Amino acid sequence: MKLANLLEGIPDLVSVNGDAEIEIQDICVHSGLATPGSLFIAIRGFISDGHDFISDALENGSAAIAGEDPARLDQFATQATTILTSDARAFAARCAARFFDYPSRRLTVVGVTGTNGKTTTCYLTEAILSAAGLVTALLTTVRTAIGQERRSSRRTTPDAVELQSFLRQACERYVTHAVLEVSSHGIALSRTLGCEFDVLALTNVTQDHLDFHVSFDDYLATKLRLFTDYVRESAKKAVGVINLDDPAGMLFKQKAVCPIITCGATPGADYRVLAAAKEAKATRLWLQTPDGKQELVFSLFGQFNITNAVMAAAMGRALGLTWDKIAAGLALAKPPPGRLEQVDAGQPFLVFVDYAHTPDGLRRALEAVRGLCEGRVIVVFGCGGDRDKGKRPLMGEIAASQSDLAIVTSDNSRSEDPSQIIAEILPGMKGAKPVIEPDRERAIGFALQEARESDAVLIAGKGHETYQILKDRTIHFSDQEVARKWLQQTFGTKESS
């Protein structure tokens, strides 16, 4: 594609210096991915500045360079065409969408946002679509998939170029429906700009990422943009699906500029939960819907998963699927890794690993575990370093009040001292007697050793993650592996379910 054609109509463009008729063979925002004929877009990051890597991109063959710093660009004006933009992130997103020929327009795209439940809701929705015979793509915190090809994800929402490339690949592989997990970072940093959605969903909005957002109101407003700005810029007629039980639900219903479908137990919800029953290996759910009463069965537990399942069902219906197909898809759906994932080696108590790393997420996970056992609930948890410090005492309070024994440990301490993070958790645990064990492996071992018949152990915070981020290095670490090894040595060799 000629550079002039690529830049046509992009609002973030300021000026072009050089030949605009050159052919652009690729787009990148990382200099290491630059190739001959590529356009390299220099983005100012939180740790490094892309302008510092322009020379590397040129050495790798980039034919054009874009950035926000005119002085830095002028240094390379004799080596490549330079493009000045007022917003490099938005510019990259719009260029990527154009370069890959607006792939979201050729797909039916579902976008799910919220603090908790995004991944599970995406998994359930994708399961419904697949069971209906549709070819799907999935992009979540845990896994990326195009058809039957599946791989681990590096982050919830990838950068704009990677995202648009993913959607283009999905088109080329005859995918018809893509289900995307949309993070607040992805919206705020323009990673999802250029995506056009057919169905949007909000699971909930609770405290998280206040290390990134200036306030909770800013966090809320960022997620709301998906239902306002994105809808206005799209040629599609999107539909929103909102959890009316969440305090933010009514606000989103009022502010959204697209038609809204509501879900939950709240009276007046379009898809209202009438009753739910826990069975041996499944949850049975009865709904009042615009089509009358419906009965669904799925192999996930907990009130929060009831909400996730109802939202997935509502999205399936919004996409025109029959209730028979929706019910069949939910019945076949498996929970994503690290989401209330059970570890079983024949022990006489329950062990779960869950990604719960926010106050609301921890509370919901503990409530679910409490409903699954007859004995005590033991929880192992910590808080991540270099992240929202305000949630630390809140998580401590929830762990103390919702469990019978709380063990406070480390969880991706990053540049912070694990002992200091723990010290900031403890003020929320007044009146409780938590066990303090900074070594996460020992903390898990202690919890399993303390568990008795009919108890349940919840290992919270890392979920699907297979690493531990420390100050000077990242090491391999899996809660599931640690728990399974301890249990197998003590109780047998049964595989986890």
**What would the pLDDT profile of 271-314 be if each residue is shown by its tens digit?**
999 999 999 889 999 999 999 999 999 999 999 999 999 999 99
Q: Which residue has the higher pLDDT, 198 or 494?
A: 198
Return d(Cα 444, Cα 486) in angstroms, integer: 9
pLDDT at 46: 81
Q: What is the dihedral of CA 326, 196, 205, 141, to 10 degrees?
A: 70
pLDDT at 496: 42
- Pinpoint the residues of the chain covered by CATH 3.90.190.20: 341-491
pLDDT tens, position by position, 148-170 = 887 766 655 789 999 999 999 99
Burial letters for 322-342: b for 16+ Cβ neighbours within 10 Å, e otherwise?
Answer: ebebbbbbbeebebbbbbbbe
Q: Is the pLDDT of residue 3 over 50?
A: yes
Please give the mean pLDDT across all residues of the chain: 94
Q: What is the pTM of this model?
A: 0.90
What average pLDDT does range 25-31 have in this prediction? 97
Percentage of the chain lying above the pLDDT 90 cut = 89
- Pinpoint the residues of the chain covered by CATH 3.40.1390.10: 3-99
Return d(Cα 126, Cα 146) in angstroms, integer: 11
The enclosing H or E element of 317 equals helix 303-318
pLDDT tens, position by position, 429-482 = 998 999 999 999 999 999 999 999 999 999 999 999 999 999 999 999 999 999
The enclosing H or E element of 326 equals helix 323-332
CATH fold, domain 3-99, is: 3.40.1390
- Which residue is it, tokens 């630390």? 392
Return d(Cα 366, Cα 456) in angstroms, integer: 10
pLDDT tens, position by position, 332-386 = 998 899 999 999 999 999 999 999 999 989 999 999 999 999 999 999 999 999 9
- Pinpoint the residues of the chain covered by CATH 3.40.1190.10: 103-332
- Which residue is it, tokens 């009965």? 295
Q: Which residues contact 206 (CB under 8 A, 6 or more apart)?
A: 115, 116, 358, 359, 360, 361
Q: According to the CATH classification, is domain 103-332 in 3.40.1190.10?
A: yes
Confidence tier at 207 by pLDDT (50, 70, 90):
low
Beta bridge partners, 239, equal: 199
CATH for 341-491, among 3.30.420.40, 1.10.3720.10, 3.90.190.20, 2.30.110.10? 3.90.190.20
In this structure, the strands spanning 435-436 and 405-408 are parallel
Return d(Cα 351, Cα 345) in angstroms, integer: 10
